[in-house]
Copies of this chain bind each other. A is one copy, B any other.
Amino acid sequence: MAALLLLLLPCLSVAPLVLAEKGLEFPRYDGKDRVIDIDSNNYKKAMKRYSMLCLLYHKPIPDSKELQKQHQMTEMVLEVSQKRRGNRRWRETGGLVEEGSVYVFKEDRVIEFDGLLAADTLVEFLLDLLEDPVEVIGNALELRAFDRMEEDIRLIGYFKNEDSEHYNAFKEAAEQFQPYIKFFATFEKSVAKELTLKMNEVDFYEPFMEEPVTIPDKPNTEEEIVDFVTEHRRATLRKLRPEDMFETWEDDVDGIHIVAFAEEEDPDGYEFLELLKEVARDNTHQTALSIVWIDPDDFPLLLPYWEKTFKVDLFKPQIGVVNVTDADSIWLEMDEQDLPTAEELEDWIEDVLSGKVNTEDDDDDDDDDDD
């Protein structure tokens, strides 16, 4: 029995749509089919014909009405996301693994899109892939833009100029992680000085940490940089982002996630997030510790589902342990008016890591439907 209702009310006077203002026309489904069903017969021909491919690997379309409608929605997302993009250059290649996945073929890489299958998220992902893999920082003001990106994994290197072989190795490494990890470079001595970077040196910034780690043994080869990033990419505190949310969620630690909900735009949420950062900075040496921060503002559609699944009020900050196999969870009891201190939070995290606090002690697991 829903207390909320959506209505469609036909207005029977068919007045012409008074839309004098121009400039914000959103792409809508226009009746043209731009998504092509690929099978073993037309596969090769399509691969030859198009310079860029975005591919959804799916099961044969089921016949129940409900599943067909789901499939139709996915297809429409792809169509809307593709409709407005015509003249970009990509090249195709092969190699598919997971059912239900979206792959992008760009030059000699196959990049899996492991994010939310929504038109805007997918298009933003594609747009990010079209940008240069390395952004160049030219002055102090641009450096401030770099400083503000504390949520992201970032690397920055100081090189002689664009022709430097070490810059080139850095750029090749950047391509391996685009668009998930951000690579920056500077050729300016003044910028390098402010970053305390020596020539050919590369610094790695973990999200929310104040100090970077320098990649050892400069100048670095592409392989050294790739290996370093691969080893260090799981952060102590990482933000769940629509563009790689499933990848992050699948990268659990021993079957659990420590999950913190905090709305950055909300004073309470901001306060709690600052506390989390403090705890993360103090404990970044603990390799078994990884906290996933979720800003509810980024996932309005999941909010009611999470509230129901985790049985918590997400209009205030929360931290808990989630078992990723059954979504069973246990949450730290907090008073909204009186957030825990950093010490209390660290004690709780220690209890989680030692197993003293765990989801198995919480047996209340009724899985009723959401209506």
Chain A residues at the B interface, C-beta cutoff of 8 Å? 2-12, 14-15, 17-18, 20-32, 34-39, 43, 46, 49-61, 65-66, 69-70, 73, 75-76, 78-82, 84-90, 96, 99-100, 116, 118-121, 123-124, 127, 130-131, 135-139, 141-146, 148-149, 184, 245-246, 249-250, 252, 257, 259, 264-271, 274, 297, 299-306, 308-309, 315, 322-327, 337, 370-371
A29 touching B73 by the CB < 8 A rule? yes
Closest Cβ–Cβ distance, residue A84 to chain B (whole Å): 4
CA distance A123 to B6 in the complex (A): 12
Given A4-B54, A245-B24, A304 and B36 touching (CB < 8 A)? Answer: no
Q: Decide if A56 touches B142 in the complex (CB within 8 Å).
A: no
By the criterion CB–CB under 8 Å, are B141 and A7 in contact?
Answer: no
Q: Which residue of B lies closest to A98 (CB)?
A: B18
Q: Which residues of chain B come closer than 8 Å to A6, judged between CB atoms? A: 34-36, 53-56, 78-79, 81-82
Residue of B nearest to A34 (CB): B6
A7 and B54 contact, CB distance less than 8 A: yes
Q: Which residues of B contact A315 (CB under 8 A)?
A: 130-131
- Chain B residues contacting A250 (CB-CB under 8 Å) are 21
Looking across the interface, which residue of chain B has its beta carbon closest to that of A141? B271
Q: Could you tell me the distance between the alpha carbons of A130 and B263 in the complex, rounded to whole angstroms?
A: 15
- Contact: A89 with B3, CB < 8 Å? yes
CB distance from A281 to the nearest CB of B (A): 16
- Cα–Cα, bound, A170→B72 (Å): 48
> Is A99 a contact partner of B11 (Cβ separation < 8 A)?
yes
Q: A10-B59, A36-B5 are in contact. Are A21 and B324 (CB under 8 A)?
A: yes
Contact of A29 among B10, B55, B66, B308 (CB under 8 A): B66
The reply to whether A5 and B52 form a contact with Cβ atoms under 8 Å apart is yes
Q: A21-B249, A23-B309 are in contact. Are A2 and B86 (CB under 8 A)?
A: yes
Query: How far, in angstroms, from A209 to B233 measured CA to CA in the complex?
Result: 38
Docked-complex contact A84 and B14, CB < 8 angstroms: no
Cβ–Cβ < 8 Å partners of A139 in chain B: 271
- When C-beta atoms are compared, the residue in chain B nearest to A53 turns out to be B5
Cβ-defined contact, A66 with B30, below 8 A = yes
- Within the assembled complex, what's the spacing in Å between the Cα atoms of A164 and B207? 43
Shortest distance from the beta carbon of A83 to any chain B beta carbon, whole Å: 8
Are B141 and A270 neighbours in the complex by a CB distance under 8 Å?
yes
Q: Are B300 and A124 in contact (CB under 8 A)?
A: yes
A271–B5 touching, CB < 8 Å: no
> Contacts A29-B69, A36-B7: A305 and B84 contacting too (C-beta < 8 A)?
yes
Other 5 A-B pairs with CB < 8 A, given A3-B52, A7-B38, A20-B324: A7-B35, A18-B99, A131-B315, A142-B270, A144-B274
